[in-house]
Amino acid sequence: MKTLKITLQDLFDLESAEIFNPDAYKDCRYVSIDSRSIKKGSLFVAIKGERLDGHNFVKDAIRNGASAVMISEPELKRFDSIDKTIITVKDTTEAYGKLANAWRHKLKAKVISLTGSNGKTTTKEILYSLLKKKYKVVKTESNNNNHIGVPLTIFNANANTDVLILEQGTNHFGEIPYTAKISEPDFAFITNIGDSHLEYLKTRNGVFDEKSALLNICRDKGGQVLINTDDHILHRNQKKYPNRITFGFKGNPDIKGKILGYTPEGKTEIAVTYNNKTFETALPLYGESNAKNYLAAAAVVLLMGLKKTEIIEASKKIKPFKQRVNVINKKEFMLIDDTYNANPDSMIAAIELMNKMKAKSRKIAVLGDMFELGENSADMHANLAGIIMKCKVDEVYTIGKDMIHLHNFLKTRRVSIQHFDERENLRNFLHNLNLEDAVILVKGSRGMKMEEFVEEILSRAN
């Protein structure tokens, strides 16, 4: 297998780079920003973050085997005694990204990039599950989907990689354009445009303006853009991508999904049609939102040439994803752990899923604040009352400074409610709550740490 390396020419191609002791440089097989994970023959890039400054770990990186280091220009005097190759640049974070782009062009792998307001992580994991049996696949791990995480994931791929799946996230303008220029995807899509990160992106149109940079760069580089035509903003803008492939459940997209029904536990049965050929499968996942995530992933793998028999077989092996609509069945109750994050659209989808789960008769929602919703946050929390009433949720227990607005709105409705200002009080309440014959949804934004209440509920299980 050919080994990919960062060459001296790659370093000279960096606009602001100055190279000291270039004669000592040997092509680097690895690029790392973590001195603890350095392998022999690595290039260590010292990045200054919010909490740590990589320049403080340069000497550790060299002791651990780094053969060259990249630092910020003003830091050079600190490292006069180092006899390794030193590369100085104006901005090590930007240089790290440009090196990742150079690495991306050395790869033979097909690059799939996705973003979206809801479901991007789950869709990424479904994609990985569908592709991994046939291909050598590298994907975004954890939440490494930002200006540092995207390059890190690219560097995790090697000459043996067939497919590279990149989740690309944002909460400020300019982040997707930056990472999209690094990834230059062969396939790109947006799962949907919703009310996430409105504190900074202001409106759904602002969300589209930011996220569509991924599609624009894919289009301009000759890649394949996929459009979810069920999303009205994406549908409205689809003509910007002349060679698009469309997917969705409504109308007549190129790749069409149809929900055939739900099991009593809420698992989804789905049919997918492309080029007048249809396959059906029962997903080991729950709810309409996961059916949408699955269709997006299926659309990509169909375009990559997977046969329907391969897709059906791989679909059976998809596993629920931790903290993302993860349904846990216990004798007395069913628990929906959807605690990884929250926004209005994903809240609605989770409550609707709870309503579809007929195996238990009681419906209980334990809800925490949704973050980054901007000036309309109070109304967006209160507006959840509509879906709660429509789905006939029996009990709603809330925590957080914004969920108080939902609590207040529900006071005049026929729902058992209680709001908690202190985490310990909610934990004690759940410890003593009757859970018999109940479906319990626990959901809130990441910073609310709602998984702690999941643990409390699970501690009650027989």
Q: Give the domains, in start order, of the chain with CATH numbers.
A: 8-90 (3.40.1390.10), 107-315 (3.40.1190.10), 326-458 (3.90.190.20)
Compute the average pLDDT of residues 47-72: 94
Rounded mean pLDDT of the chain? 93
Query: pLDDT digits over 417-432, tens only?
Result: 999 999 999 999 999 9
Compute the average pLDDT of residues 311-316: 96
Look at residue 374 and tell me whether its pLDDT is greater than 90. Answer: no
pTM metric for this prediction:
0.85
**What is the pLDDT confidence band of residue 50, given thresholds at 50, 70 and 90?**
confident
Look at residue 197 and tell me whether its pLDDT is greater than 60. Answer: no
Integer angstrom CA distances of residue 274 from 167, 306, 421: 25, 12, 51
Q: List the beta bridge partners of residue 262.
A: 268
Higher pLDDT, 171 or 377: 377
The pLDDT, as a whole number, for residue 112 is 98
Query: pLDDT digits over 145-193, tens only?
Result: 999 999 999 999 999 999 999 999 876 777 999 999 999 999 999 999 8
Look at residue 198 and tell me whether its pLDDT is greater than 80. Answer: no
Instruction: Report the distance separating Cα 347 and Cα 332, nearest Å.
Output: 24
Residues 6+ apart with CB under 8 A from 419: 397, 398, 399, 403, 404, 407
Find the radius of gyration of the CA atoms of the chain.
24
Compute the average pLDDT of residues 116-134: 93
Say which residue the tokens 């609590």 belong to. Answer: 407
Asked if 229 and 250 touch (Cβ cutoff 8 Å), the reply is yes
Look at residue 273 and tell me whether its pLDDT is greater than 90. Answer: yes
Instruction: Report the distance separating Cα 215 and Cα 232, nearest Å.
Output: 16
Integer angstrom CA distances of residue 331 from 328, 335, 360, 365, 393: 10, 11, 10, 19, 21
Instruction: Report the distance separating Cα 187 and Cα 165, nearest Å.
Output: 10
Look at residue 392 and tell me whether its pLDDT is greater than 90. Answer: yes
Residues 6+ apart with CB under 8 A from 408: 382
Look at residue 42 and tell me whether its pLDDT is greater than 70. Answer: yes
Asked if 366 and 450 touch (Cβ cutoff 8 Å), the reply is yes
Query: pLDDT digits over 276-313, tens only?
Result: 999 999 998 888 889 999 999 999 999 999 999 999 99
